[in-house]
Amino acid sequence: MVVMNSRTKASPHLTRYALALSAVLALATAGCSARPQATITVDSGQRYQTMEAWEATAKMWEFDKQADRYNGSWLPLSEAILTKMIADGGINRLRLEIRSGAENPVDYWSQFRSGKIGYLGFKEHFYDKINDNDDPEVLNPAGVQFSELDFRVEKLILPAMRIAKQLGKTMTISLCYVDFRWTDTQGTLSHAKNPAEYAELIAATYAHLNEKYGLVPQELEIILEPDNSVDWRGEQIGHAILAVTERLERQGVTPRIIAPSTSIGRKTPAYFDALAKVPGAAEKVSVLSYHRYGGVLPEDVLKGIRKRADKIGAETGMLEYTHSDVDDLFADLTIANASSWQKYGITKVEDGGGLAPGNMLTVSDPESAQPDIRLMPTSISLAQIFRSVDPGAVRVGATSNQGWSEAVAFTNPDGRMSVTVKSELSMTQKALQKLSKHVDTPVPGPDGGQWVQVKGLRDGKYLVERSNALIGGGLRCTATVDADTPPRVYLRSSDVATLTQMKKGAPAKDAPCSSDSADWQ
């Protein structure tokens, strides 16, 4: 089976090449021997990191780059989108961004939203920093613009918090400062070189959010991707941490500090080591964060990030990579011991250009009577893990006796267990996966199949959800676990199965899991 993956449209020549490659590889692997049955052993006595958050960035498709305009067509759908994001996507933290250009006497967001300027005109001032005055201890309110921040709070943050509460779930907020170098207009102020001015802007933002909405973000991400900025390096981050934590403490605010959040994960250790040379800065970091851009992130780098975090008593977090998949998530959880994790945005509208990577959801026909809001195919397996692992869950031991399968397991705060088992990609899938992340090429569907037995789970009923990491899909059933009957799941190449212990007394809504492999195809 070959499935088309909606991404950027590929040329006919490239698509034909990918189809041919898929066929050749399929023939080459057709005679390979079947995988042996696997046994997963869960050891709840082995305890690792405590989980903090499954995060997304608070954005929809308000930036219509193609038409160079503001697009608010998602607003009538926001309730349904946010409900889907929380209930089905499992997201429990939103990243609220404040751009450096908010320190400016001109309110460019309002001009953009009203249609006076287009997206490109607004973007040019994203990082256009103009000092409010010469005294970082005295704020000139006219010199800071919060209209875009307010828009995101009122249309995304507060509704998401309300919906999460109605669903009996949590929703926390992380404030994140952004100061990219991608525009020519950078203003006349450098927050990186003036930590007191940086602290003034962040303190003003916290005060504004608290006074207007009663909102105090629990986390502060010092800067998003400093390696994509003009002046921000490790030393500047260290001085900013000291300045902003001191300033916020005066306001009675002590957020958990997230840093350094480099775009290229391989740069994270060096950035952290540089900020740690600023006396007292490293000890204030609660989450040592990294992103996954810049190519494959080697295992030794992930171990180095974890080692540095352990040294200062901090957590680790992988907080953005638009093309992340379940393989990345497993590596981040089991090698870096990540406690928080983000793919990227909430959703984008599906158009002639295909699905936008990096979002949990996609929406087609948003202005129709019945718009289709659904999980992205490559997000389905991620979401089934997010839904099963609550904040405060502890990762526990899980091993496989076969190299083709891998597992990660958790004990939730209420004692319920969750284990996810994934099957490695076939040779064909491995060959085409990288290409399919960037262009609209055929993605081979799952092939083969073998049983996986899961031992070490607590007695009870378990919801079993199986999807495919590349093409999505879904199968649900109920497994009853006791000492004499460990559950079995049937996995094809690139399949992902999550077993989540149900609450005691909760009715089973799905049929019992079949012992016939034909029912799992």
Domain ranges of the chain: 2-21+35-48+393-520, 52-388
pLDDT at residue 144 greater than cutoff 60:
yes
Pairing of strands 442-444, 2-4: antiparallel
pLDDT at residue 16 greater than cutoff 80:
no
pLDDT at 368: 86
pLDDT band at 194 (very low <50, low <70, confident <90, very high): very high
- Which residue bears the tokens 């000092």? 131
Mean pLDDT, residues 149-177 taken together: 98
pLDDT at residue 116 greater than cutoff 80:
yes
Q: How far is CA 383 from CA 96, 144, 331, in A?
A: 21, 38, 17
Maximum average pLDDT range among 102-106, 483-487, 504-508: 102-106
pLDDT at 11: 44
pLDDT at residue 92 greater than cutoff 80:
yes
pLDDT at 430: 62
pLDDT at 24: 46
pLDDT band at 431 (very low <50, low <70, confident <90, very high): low
**Domain 2-21+35-48+393-520 top-level CATH class:** mainly beta
User: Comparing 251 with 27, which gets the higher pLDDT?
Assistant: 251
pLDDT band at 350 (very low <50, low <70, confident <90, very high): confident
pLDDT band at 8 (very low <50, low <70, confident <90, very high): very low
User: Comparing 447 with 177, which gets the higher pLDDT?
Assistant: 177
pLDDT band at 484 (very low <50, low <70, confident <90, very high): confident
User: Comparing 1 with 443, which gets the higher pLDDT?
Assistant: 443
* Least trusted range by pLDDT, from 130-134, 307-311, 370-374: 370-374
pLDDT band at 426 (very low <50, low <70, confident <90, very high): low
pLDDT band at 438 (very low <50, low <70, confident <90, very high): low
Q: Are 482 and 455 in contact (CB under 8 A)?
A: no
Exposure string (b/e) for 497-519, b if CB count within 10 Å is 16 or more?
A: bbbbbbeeeeeeeeeebeeeeee
Phi, psi (rounded to 5 degrees) for 217: -55, 130
Q: Residue 367 burial (CB < 10 Å; 0-12/13-18/19+)?
A: exposed
* Least trusted range by pLDDT, from 149-163, 392-406, 466-480: 466-480
Rounded distance between C-alpha atoms, residue 375 and residue 401, angstroms: 32
Mean pLDDT, residues 51-79 taken together: 96
Average pLDDT of the chain to the nearest whole number: 91
Compute how many other C-beta atoms are within 10 angstroms of the C-beta atom of residue 123: 19
In this prediction, what percent of the chain has a pLDDT beyond 70? 89
pLDDT at 5: 40
Rounded distance between C-alpha atoms, residue 13 and residue 138, angstroms: 61
User: Comparing 467 with 349, which gets the higher pLDDT?
Assistant: 467
In 3D, which of 451, 442, 446 has the Cα closest to residue 474? 446
Q: Which CATH superfamily, name and number, covers 52-388?
A: Glycosidases (3.20.20.80)
pLDDT at 10: 43
User: Comparing 19 with 465, which gets the higher pLDDT?
Assistant: 465
pLDDT at residue 427 greater than cutoff 80:
no
pLDDT at 445: 67
pLDDT at 442: 56
pLDDT band at 4 (very low <50, low <70, confident <90, very high): very low
pLDDT at residue 408 greater than cutoff 80:
yes
pLDDT at 28: 43
Mean pLDDT, residues 37-56 taken together: 98
pLDDT band at 69 (very low <50, low <70, confident <90, very high): very high
* Least trusted range by pLDDT, from 228-232, 245-249, 473-477: 473-477
Each residue of 289-324: pLDDT tens digit? 999 999 999 999 999 999 999 999 999 999 999 999
Rounded distance between C-alpha atoms, residue 281 and residue 235, angstroms: 10
CA 456 from centroid of its chain's CA atoms: 29
pLDDT at 42: 98
